Copies of this chain bind each other. A is one copy, B any other.
Amino acid sequence: MPCAVEPHATQMRTRRGQSLALASDGDPTYIVRSGVLMLEISLPGAERQIAALFFPGDMLRASFAPPRSKASLLAASAGEVWRLRASMLDTLAAREPAVRGYVDRVLANRIALQALHATTLGQFDCEQKLATHLVEIALRAGAWQPAGAVSFDLPLSRKDIAHYLGLNPDTLSRVISRFKAKGLIKQFDRMRTLIPNFAALAACTPAASALIDLTGARQVPVPLEATA
């Protein structure tokens, strides 16, 4: 999206589990090109929480993370990111309306997504939480297929998904098994996943339509009301 940014950014390849610097000087700023980044918060005496996921097109700067406390930015999967200093992005934004618009849009979207995620964490039961996550991934990284099916690679490990959803990994594993038994998802291996009927899955979470709105809903093959 922000083509004016490219010449000023450092290209980086990430590997699964790699940690990206948040604390270094110049308030580092990242734009995700492919793969998924996780913002991890580990507070003393509490389990870690994956506070946010960043998909291709998303931007984040170090000042988005709580300072001093143990926040870290991890690559969930292999991918590519652009890195630049915040001051450079600010300069570009002041000069180029397209960059300014991109930054503003991405920020507003992030806050809205976080509000939704707070609802997921605060109110949903474990099945709704998993359905929400699957819908989110399908919308951001899914390959749409005929008849309302979607396929994708789960970018996060079971443990990471659990910590993103505020669940215990054991519990999450059980919920996934239940979803498989109900035919809501099919798995070919740990990662490779197929949702045979997106609408049926979306019907499992109250957040589906809000997520569709927020992700720009590139394509949802079948209107939600049709099936499910």
Contact = CB atoms under 8 A, between A and B. Distances in A.
Interface of A: 39, 41, 43-49, 51-52, 61, 63-69, 71, 90, 94, 100, 104, 107-108, 110-112, 114-119, 121-124, 128, 163, 165-166, 206-207, 209-210, 213-214
A119 B64 contact: no
A14 to B, nearest CB: 20
Contact of A214 (B67, B90, B119, B206): B67
A214 B66 CA distance: 7
Nearest to A48: B123
Each complex incorporates copies of this chain amounting to: 2
Nearest to A121: B121
Given A121-B166, A122-B49, A122-B121, A115 B66 contact: yes
Contact of A213 (B67, B94, B107, B114): B67
B49 A118 contact: yes
Contacts of A49: 118-119, 122-123
A65 B108 CA distance: 8
A39 B119 CA distance: 11
A61 B108 contact: yes
A110 B52 CA distance: 13
Contacts of A64: 108, 111-112, 115
Contacts of A124: 46
